[in-house]
Chains A and B, each alone.
Chain A
Amino acid sequence: MSLGDTDVSFTNASLFMTIAMVLISAFMILGMRRSAIIPNRWQCAVELSYEFVANLLRDTVGQEGRKYFPFVFTLFMFILFGNLLGMVPYSFTFTSHIIVTFALAFIIFVGVTVLGFAKHGLHFFSFFVPPGTPLPMYPLLIPIEVISYLSRPISLSVRLFANMLAGHTLLKVIAGFVATLGFFGILPLAFVVALTGLEILIAFLQAYVFTILTCLYINDALHMH
């Protein structure tokens, strides 16, 4: 399948992104179909995820952050479901692909930079000068700040990508030992079971880290230092 000259084939990654989209929409919309004052378990889970991201955004950005809540929430749920779907055997982890995480991080980077300039105009450049820096330090500090700012999308995307890739690779390598070791394969099996628990934790943790860093970047753009 292609669009013009570019290849847009429906791959494993596309399938699992679609599954994540459908699952999240179903989770959110079916969970709220009763919209009761006293929620049932499903609605509780929906509200829990809502509250979790809302608190995260409020604690880091404050009240001005409410506008960006839908985006931050979508980001969190998309990454979380991508990570968790990857834990299902024979499935595919689209968050372990650098292009996916980089695209998300790059959108955030561009969006936050545009936001900063829209909010502060050219004053936004003062973001690269930490307050209270003595003048002779400027030639040293400004390049450092600029590089650290520009490396944000890379660190953000590589963190998620590397965590997902390393975790899943480790699981597969150790799982490979189970059959070859025969009876003693029970040891790597136990290890794989423990690691699966750890990987589920990491799936949540990395979605959380990605989201809270996004919130921090939005906060930086809105309030500078």
Chain B
Amino acid sequence: MPQLDPSVFSSQLFWLALTFIPLYLILWKAALPRVTSVREARRARIDADLEKAAAIKSEAEAALADYEKTIAEAMAKAQATIRESAQSFANEAAAQREALSTKLAAQVADAERRISEEKNRALGDIGDIANELTQAASARLLGGDIGADEAKSAVKSIVAGGSR
């Protein structure tokens, strides 16, 4: 078989060396470094892009946090304002109510005073009327005037007795 023929061994070994060694040198020194550099450049580019993306992402997150903080602050402020105004309205309403109730109480007291005055006056009048009535009734019944002082004391004793 030609594949096993020793007579061609020397030539094949010579040409193997003469092709394999230059090929090795060409690939080692010229071809492979270019592939390596391209792949490294690509790697670096991808890494840089990823880094940039990460930076932009953190920036966006910071902006979001900022935004949320602003919203929260505004809400807190709004609630404080609402609370404050509600408080002031309540205070004003309480003050007005108090003023009104004092005024009403004064009016009630005044009215009560006038009622009791009227009552006292009416009671006084009732006493006089009773005296006069007693005097007149006794004059009619007994046929003689008993006098104003007598009638008065009689009425007083009856009123006192009645109340006893």
Interface residues of A (CB under 8 A from B): 3, 6-11, 13-14, 17-18, 20-21, 24-25, 28-29, 32, 35-37, 39, 43, 46-47, 50, 69-71, 73-74, 77-78, 94, 96-100, 103-104, 161, 165
Contacts and interface: CB of A to CB of B under 8 A. Distances in A.
B39 interface: yes
Interface of B: 2-4, 7-16, 18-20, 22-24, 26-28, 30-32, 34-35, 37-39, 41-42, 45
Given A17-B16, A35-B38, A70-B28, 5 more contacts: A8-B14, A8-B15, A13-B15, A32-B31, A50-B32
B28 A74 contact: yes
A17 B17 CA distance: 10
Contact of B16 (A3, A29, A96, A100): A100
Given A37-B45, A98-B4, A161-B3, A70 B32 contact: yes
13 contacts: A6-B10, A8-B10, A13-B11, A14-B11, A14-B18, A21-B26, A24-B23, A36-B38, A37-B42, A77-B23, A103-B12, A103-B13, A103-B16
B32 to A, nearest CB: 6
Contact of B27 (A70, A100, A103): A70
A165 B2 CA distance: 11
Contact of A77 (B3, B7, B27, B30): B27
A100 B4 CA distance: 10
A47 B38 contact: yes
A46 B31 CA distance: 10
Contacts of B42: 37
A99 B23 contact: no
B14 A25 contact: no
B15 A10 contact: yes
Contacts, number: 119
B139 to A, nearest CB: 141
B19 to A, nearest CB: 4
Candidate in A37, A94, A96 with the most chain B CB atoms within 10 angstroms: A37
B20 A11 contact: no
Task: Enumerate the 3 nearest inter-chain pairs by beta-carbon distance, A residue then B residue, closest first.
Answer: A28-B31, A14-B15, A70-B28
Contacts of B4: 98
B11 A8 contact: yes
A39 B41 CA distance: 12
A78 to B, nearest CB: 6
A6 B3 CA distance: 19
B35 A46 contact: yes
B28 A18 contact: no
Contacts of A98: 3-4
A101 to B, nearest CB: 10
A25 B9 contact: no
A18 B21 CA distance: 11
A46 B38 CA distance: 11
A47 B39 contact: yes
A74 B20 contact: yes
Contact of A25 (B8, B10, B26, B34): B26
B47 to A, nearest CB: 13
Contacts of B19: 14, 17-18, 20-21, 78
